[in-house]
Structure 1
């Protein structure tokens, strides 16, 4: 097995954790869970499979939880893989990692992979904007950047390269769970868009220098353009682009539901919360922060 440490963040993931660990064991010799005090069988299952578990209180911040793991886990390998509990690598990607791992150039500190999504047990190949993510990186050469949404692994040393094959996000929970999750995401996305428009989040003068990948920069340039578009119209245009011009309609009923729910409904919900905050607070960023804290329990600094 390869000298790779896989870190998985968990909270009540008994549906996914066995599949995830079995997959990780095919390419990594050390697996850790950073668990947010699960009250189901997540820890029991993980430990029975040889994974090591530490627990840390969830503070509504994925990056903070992952970086806590990087700082506090007894990592013994030179490379770290970030994997979510509902994700797994395809056979082709695992084979590619085994083939190329021993010959990674010394100046390369990160490996980027494409992620594909399953929705209602069907993989979405059409209508999707390509999602490339840095997930494998040299220990202490990378960390998870602090963002409300769209957080990425970033490098403070070295460059990155991309592999050919992909991994998947395949969540087994029902549609109601997905809707509830995206309702929670929507206020964080709204904060991100308000930050683009008003500079809502204070930027630290002592921020550590790091290198964001070209794919992450591209996505953020797209988000900047999106933020400048008219409320509500932008979510409709985004859906039409994905469903019609990117051929999402070829994915059947599952494709329609995916592009409608994730591309239009979710984006409209985000815009509704942006509209709600602007209507209540005008352009006053201090009022916005107070409104968001009082109504959504998010403390924006």
Structure 2
């Protein structure tokens, strides 16, 4: 039994070495049809022993592929694109199954699962579908369609042996950096074909896909619905069209009832598909109906974990799973169920470890844990590479500085010879070693007024006022805020609020005992700016301090529309476990806006814990 690999190319130099490395152990012949490369594609292919053929590109993928088939001499064809590859396990499975299938003359082709991954996002899965990449070398098995070409049998039906769970092909062609360009190319080919032959029902699904990928949601919905109404079938593609239509409706902020009806129609047609329960969960999340979102996410996960033998449908759920885990983490965090929140945040981070938002959520939930436990958890997720350690340091820069920051910044300096002044300065701030910071790093600190001002305030030492070198090193705005901290007779004007806020954010990173006194300076500012201070504190999960500021503002003012303050006081009380007080303030919000679903849920959660 001889196996021929066929491939068509144009300027695929970057993918060639990987393609040959993965395919050569499987096949005995490689047919490469080049459609006009101007890079080293052909040179690399020739060095690997491929048989090279030139073909004039005619905006028709099926024509080019059929030309390649005419050159192949093997019993079986393996036809991958340059940006597709088998896993090592799949190659071994394929070798085993081909020996069995080869003797079954009724079998024309093998169905495999194509998994779209995003190489720009650490190989995150986008979606998957079942298709033919392996088939017998017979003259009646050829490709059709200029774009989204597929294998068909000129004499009847293609008899497929399905191995979608055993053989996977990874496809990188829809990675973030190139997806839009590819959609534009595909749409141009489709529109050319339509101009020449007229628009046909077979075009609807592909037009829906292209328009969705180009964020033209109106046309995506139009052609998706035309496809559904035409009741066309295609191997494993029925769910995809529903998924695109629903996603387009959600992204275009269509009427809620229309979105809800479309999702329910999809669930009715595909009751065991996790994709549409996930879609309902995402929709509920956007509506701030967190309890409903959680129920649908859990249902989607449950369905995805069940055996799905005999289902050859496309799957977009795995591509959404990273976000689903994050949403579930957020919901459990809202519910003050921090252990469950941490579980789902970590699940999300394990799927995509370079998500800064999720990393910071995990770290802030663990902030009071033993540093050894935190380091152990991160070391289980991240590798000791410059990329991973730099990512950790960059995101710890937005979190309180402590031994964790010192540990990883030391690795960056020691293992990778990365010398950055700010790393060392933050280490000294985190350890409270201000004198060493001033003595050894003053020149650099003069370039970072926010850091020097924060250090002057964090030290909370009036003698600093006599150290003119420190004060003179600050620019006028930062100097004014520092002087105000030590002199209650001074007042800050509104123009200095951005400087005040910058210093506040720095103080929140170094666990300063000066923070309470610094927050008293907030009285110098307008109500609008004081509200911004509470939001900064909430973001850093300083709920007790935010609550004090809210109360300070509320007590001194007669507010005509205090709902925002009521909501802030209620939320901070809730996060501090003061559930009766939280419920009372949430009630005040609901008096003005009884339809506020988010507040209704927080009130329900509060009352359940009173």
Q: TM-score, normalised by structure 1?
A: 0.65
Q: Could you say which structure has the larger radius of gyration?
A: 2
Aligned to 1:92: 89
Aligned position for 2:186: 185
Query: 1:147 and 1:36, CA in 2 relative to 1: closer, same or farther beyond 3 A?
Result: closer
Contact residue 31 and residue 52 of structure 1 kept, 8 A: yes
C-alpha separation between the residues in 2 aligned to 1:10 and 1:138? 22
Query: Residues 203-258 of structure 1: CA distance to partner in whole angstroms, max 9, x if unpaired?
Result: 9xxxxxxxxxx9834415754x689x699527656998399463351454889xxx
Task: Say whether residues 1:233 and 2:267 are aligned partners.
Answer: no
Aligned pair in 2 of structure 1 residues 188, 243: CA closer, same or farther (>3 Å)? farther
For the Cα contact (< 8 Å) 1:107–1:158, is it kept in 2?
no
Give, in whole Å, the separation in 2 of the partners of 1:242 and 1:191: 36
Counterpart CA distance in 2 for 1:65 and 1:242 is 41
Name the CA distance, whole Å, in 1 between partners of 2:51 and 2:28. 12
State the superposition RMSD in angstroms: 3.8
Flag the 1:54–1:248 CA change in 2: closer, same or farther, 3 A.
Answer: same
Distance 2:36 2:27 in 1: 24
Match of 2:234 among 216, 227, 244: 216
Which consecutive residues of structure 2, in runs of 5 or more, have no partner in the other structure? 203-231, 253-258, 264-274, 283-296, 298-316, 324-347, 356-610
Corresponding position: 1:22 with 2:21 = yes
Is the alpha carbon distance of 1:108 and 1:32 closer, same or farther for their aligned partners in structure 2, counting shifts above 3 Å?
Answer: same
Q: Compared with structure 1, are the counterparts of its residues 219 and 78 closer, same or farther at alpha carbon in structure 2 (3 Å cutoff)?
A: same
2:379 is matched with which residue?
Answer: none
Partner of residue 7, structure 1 = 6
> Greater shift after overlay, 159-168 or 25-34?
159-168
Q: Can you give the 5+ residue segments of structure 1 that lack an aligned partner in the other structure? A: 204-213, 256-301
Give the structure 2 partner of residue 80 of structure 1: 77
Q: Could you report, residue by residue, the CA deviation over 1:143-198 in whole angstroms, capped at 9, with x for unpaired residues? A: 112254x32222346511112131111359881x4332222224456789x89xxx
Distance in structure 1 (CA, Å) of the matches to 2:81 and 2:281: 27
TM-score, length-normalised on structure 2?
Answer: 0.34
Contact 1:78 1:138 in 2 (8 A): yes
C-alpha displacement of 1:30: 0.3
Answering whether residue 103 of structure 2 is matched by residue 101 of structure 1, we say no
Between structures 1 and 2, the one with greater strand share: 1
Question: Do the aligned partners of 1:116 and 1:123 also contact (CA within 8 Å) in 2?
Answer: no
Task: Give the 3 Å change call, closer, same or farther, for CA 118–222 of structure 1 in structure 2.
Answer: closer
**Contact 1:132–1:215 at 8 Å: present in 2 too?**
no
Counterpart position of 2:272:
none
Does the CA-based 8 Å contact 2:7-2:68 persist in structure 1? no
Count of aligned positions:
233
Counting only pairs closer than 5 Å after superposition, residues 1-301 of structure 1 correspond to structure 2 as 3-71=2-70, 73=71, 75-104=72-101, 105-119=104-118, 120-125=120-125, 128=127, 130-140=128-138, 141-148=140-147, 150-156=148-154, 159-163=159-163, 164-171=166-173, 175=177, 177-188=178-189, 200-201=199-200, 216-219=234-237, 223=241, 233=249, 236=252, 241=279, 244=282, 246=317, 247-249=321-323, 250=348, 251-252=351-352
Give the distance between the partners of 2:11 and 2:181, measured in 1 at CA: 15
More helix by share: 2
Whole-Å separation in 2 of the counterparts to 1:230 and 1:116: 21
- Contact residue 109 and residue 161 of structure 2 kept, 8 A: yes
Q: 1:18 to 1:243 in 2, by over 3 A?
A: farther
Q: Contact 2:121–2:352 (CA<8 Å) still a contact in 1?
A: no
User: Deviation of residue 201 (structure 1)?
Assistant: 4.0
The 2-side partners of 1:32 and 1:54 are apart by 8
Distance change >3 Å, CA 55–CA 107, structure 1 → 2:
same
Q: Secondary structure at the match of 1:7?
A: strand
**Aligned equivalents of 1:215, 1:139: Cα separation in 2:** 26
Distance 1:21 1:183 in 2: 28
Provide the rounded CA distance (Å) in 1 between the counterparts of 2:80 and 2:192. 25
Work out the CA distance in 1 between the residues paired with 2:153 and 2:95.
22
> Which residue is 1:278 aligned to?
none
CA contact (8 A) 1:143 1:154 kept: yes
